């Protein structure tokens, strides 16, 4: 049987729980991707915008029911908020990694591809994704995708 060490407090000695911070960052990422303000999200789920700020910073833990509501408003499953939990986040929380821990997709872009930071959290990335989805013509959108993919492959 695997023994799991789970912290007792929401806020650690050094600040908010790393998982709560990660979930908050994912809320902010998705909210920005869909072009929604904190006020709009707050109104949609029945809280104040200050509460959304606290969720996004990891200062307040998001309840399961509230996370479900936020996911519905932002059109993502609850699992979206836990994707890409990095090895560092897990180590901060557990002290050492559980045997069952497996890093997720983009979490290691910074380490694997030489990026100084996670490119998914950059404003430039958000603007690129927003503008890409504004292209209504599917054929044109596919051509943009093919162009970007070809350029990226030629760089590596």
Q: Are residues 93 and 53 in the same domain?
A: yes
Q: Are residues 109 and 126 in the same domain?
A: no
133-149 residue pLDDT tens: 889 999 999 999 999 98
pTM flag (> 0.85): no
Q: Is the distance from CB of 132 to CB of 36 less than 8 angstroms?
A: no
Give the per-residue pLDDT at 7: 46
Task: Report how many domains make up the chain.
Answer: 2
Give the per-residue pLDDT at 130: 84
Q: Are residues 138 and 83 in the same domain?
A: no
Q: 142 is in which domain, residue-wise? A: 122-156
In a domain, 50, yes or no: yes
DSSP, collapsed to helix, strand or coil, labels residue 130 as helix
Q: Are residues 94 and 126 in the same domain?
A: no
Q: Which residues contact 44 (CB under 8 A, 6 or more apart)?
A: 69, 73
- Counting residues of the chain whose pLDDT is more than 70, the rounded percentage is 69
In a domain, 1, yes or no: no
Give the per-residue pLDDT at 102: 61
The CB density around residue 7, as the number of other CB atoms within 10 Å, is 15
């Amino acid at each position: 049987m695997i023994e799991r060490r789970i912290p007792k407090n929401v806020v650690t000695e050094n600040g908010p729980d790393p998982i709560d911070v990660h979930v908050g960052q994912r809320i902010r990422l998705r909210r920005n991707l869909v072009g929604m303000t904190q006020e709009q999200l707050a109104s949609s789920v029945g809280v104040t915008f200050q509460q959304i700020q606290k969720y996004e910073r990891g200062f307040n833990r998001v309840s399961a029911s509230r996370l479900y509501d936020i996911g519905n408003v932002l059109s993502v499953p609850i699992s979206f908020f836990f994707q890409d939990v990095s090895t560092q986040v897990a180590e901060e929380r557990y002290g050492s990694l559980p045997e069952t821990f497996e890093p997720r997709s983009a979490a290691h872009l910074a380490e694997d591809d030489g990026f100084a930071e996670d490119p998914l959290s950059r404003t430039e990335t958000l603007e690129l994704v927003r503008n890409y989805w504004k292209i209504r013509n599917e054929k044109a959108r596919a051509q943009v995708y093919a162009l970007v993919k070809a350029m990226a492959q030629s760089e590596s």
